[in-house]
Amino acid sequence: MKYISPGSWFSLEYPNDWREFEDEEDSFLFYNPEKWNGNFRISAYRGKSAKYAQDCMADELQQNQSARREQAGPWACVYSAETFQENGAWYTSHIWLTGKGTISVECSFTVPKGESPRMAEDIIRSLKVREENEPLWKEVIPVRALEICVINECYDWAVSTIKKQLTKDFTAMKQDVESIQRLLDSGRFNKGQRAAWESFGIAFGTILVNEMDGMEWVTVIDGKKEYPALRFGDSSVMVYPLSLIWDYVKNGKPCDLKAEYARIESEVEKVLND
């Protein structure tokens, strides 16, 4: 699984059965939610000097007597370890400091004491760091925690609004397309309320995920633009819920969600039949 950080400072690859979870600000957390085998965290910091990453590693070697130099694939690292006790169990945090140019990267892997850190070393080997003068990335990756927060906020607002305006529960199933359509046609929201139209688009997207097996949320990295979208399996069928309704509204055109649903369903069926 590939991960690209917000702002495209770095990318890495992590095991298919791991997921990203919310963590502290500027820190990104990954682990297997089904069978825990360690927490992997990564943070990146940008300095002004072209030798910032090297200077951070040199400082760590000077200040931490237990630190030593290591190589993880193409990355020269400064490695150290800390063992601690929590709720009666002993754990070890393996810590690597590395980076390139103006970007310093710190990775940690916390596992039960005595367990191997090799899994984290494999992740670090896949690390790529992009400096400001390098081209921005354009890729589609598994949905990040950041975009999941956007999806959840939009969805919760849409569900609450539908219930309030129509006194009707929203179950995110195909029949609920009609409820969203009623609000689009109601005149209760003006052209300038972009957040409302985007939220209704996310609610429509959630219906697609529930009704079309294989339709999943992803994160689109398009240069400086980063946003949630939908992709059917590994195909080229993409849906952009944030802009789907909004594009119609801002151009003064009516949006027929039943027609959109049928169009997307037809594209999915074509992929399945090919």
Assign 42 a pLDDT band (cuts: 50, 70, 90). Answer: very high
Asked if residue 24 has pLDDT above 90, the reply is no
Mean pLDDT of 235-248: 97
Asked if residue 176 has pLDDT above 90, the reply is yes
Mean pLDDT of 218-247: 97
Rounded distance, CA 50 to CA 69, Å?
20
Q: ∠34-37-40 over CA atoms, to 5°?
A: 105
What are the pLDDT digits (tens) for 84-116? 999 999 999 999 999 999 999 999 999 999 999
Q: Which amino acid, residue 105?
A: V
CA 232, chain centre distance (Å): 17
- Contacts of 257-261 with C-beta under 8 Å, sequence gap 24+, read 257/177, 257/180, 257/181, 257/184, 257/204, 258/177, 258/178, 258/181, 260/204, 261/174, 261/177, 261/204, 261/207, 261/208
**What percentage of the chain carries pLDDT values higher than 90?**
96
Rounded distance, CA 214 to CA 250, Å?
30
List domains and CATH numbers for the chain: 2-133 (3.40.1000.10), 145-273 (1.20.120.1090)
> 107, 103, 105: which is closest to 134 by C-alpha?
103
Asked if residue 26 has pLDDT above 90, the reply is no
Q: How far apart are the first and last CA of the chain?
A: 26
Asked if residue 274 has pLDDT above 90, the reply is no
Q: Which residue has the tokens 């046609």?
A: 185
> 66, 47, 48, 68: which is closest to 57 by C-alpha?
68
Are 93 and 117 in contact by the 8 Å Cβ rule? The answer is no
* pLDDT at 170 (0 to 100): 94
Which residues make Cβ contacts (< 8 Å) with residue 53, sequence separation at least 6? 47, 98, 99, 100, 101, 102, 103, 104, 105
Residues 47-65 as b/e (b if ≥16 CB within 10 A, e otherwise) read eeeeebbeebbeebeeeee
- 3-class DSSP assignment, residue 222: strand
Assign 255 a pLDDT band (cuts: 50, 70, 90). Answer: very high
Are 229 and 209 in contact by the 8 Å Cβ rule? The answer is no
* pLDDT at 21 (0 to 100): 95
Assign 25 a pLDDT band (cuts: 50, 70, 90). Answer: confident
* pLDDT at 132 (0 to 100): 87
Assign 120 a pLDDT band (cuts: 50, 70, 90). Answer: very high
Average pLDDT, the chain: 96
